[in-house]
């Protein structure tokens, strides 16, 4: 949102710490404000405060468009830091869902402890991936990177569905 001071517009930097409950909630609120809803095919949120949202291409129902969010950089769209990339063809697995229909607090708590739960002692980053599971439900996964790589699958309430520690 633009703030006017002495006739000059300055733009707020947007949400940060996207893998925290407050940061992810703010990102979802900004998504709703920018696009009118939180539907999409997939939302990826990385530990370096970058997110990618995949939504239907408004020009063709056979295509999807990705939008990148980087705090502090207000590129492209007038309402926020969303910048559209080129469209790509949708797959049969790309099904729309409300990407905000999960317990943000519980999921971000799991995210904070994911490396330890997976037995990864030298984690260098993590990615939260939210997408349609089918019938409008969500599939959530956390991928932890480092010298070793592991992941966990979550239910929308934040409970662990499956652990995939490094082999």
pLDDT the model gives residue 136: 66
pLDDT in tens, 65-111: 888 887 754 343 434 445 556 688 988 888 899 999 999 999 999 99
Q: Return the H-helix or E-strand segment holding 110.
A: helix 104-112
Give 95's strand partners: none
Looking at residue 76, the DSSP 8-state letter turns out to be: S
pLDDT in tens, 124-138: 999 999 998 777 689
CA atoms within 13 A on the CB side of 165: 7
Q: How many residues does the chain have?
A: 167
Mean pLDDT of all residues belonging to the chain: 83
Residue 20 pLDDT greater than 90, yes or no? yes
pLDDT the model gives residue 12: 52
Q: Return the H-helix or E-strand segment holding 139.
A: strand 137-145
Residue 144 pLDDT greater than 90, yes or no? yes
């Amino acid at each position: 949102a633009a703030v006017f001071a002495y006739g000059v517009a300055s733009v707020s930097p947007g949400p940060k710490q996207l893998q925290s409950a407050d940061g992810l909630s703010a990102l979802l609120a900004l998504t709703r404000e920018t696009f009118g809803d939180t539907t999409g095919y997939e939302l990826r949120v990385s530990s370096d405060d970058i997110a990618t949202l995949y939504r239907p291409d408004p020009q063709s129902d056979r295509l999807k468009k990705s939008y990148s969010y980087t705090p502090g950089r207000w590129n492209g769209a007038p309402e926020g830091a969303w910048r559209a990339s080129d469209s790509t063809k949708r797959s049969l697995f790309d099904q729309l869902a409300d990407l905000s229909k999960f317990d943000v607090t519980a999921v971000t708590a799991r995210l904070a402890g994911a490396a330890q739960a997976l037995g990864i002692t030298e984690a260098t980053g993590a990615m939260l991936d939210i997408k349609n599971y089918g019938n409008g439900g969500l599939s959530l996964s956390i991928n932890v990177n480092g010298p070793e790589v592991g992941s966990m699958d979550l239910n929308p309430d934040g409970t662990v569905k499956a652990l995939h520690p490094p082999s």
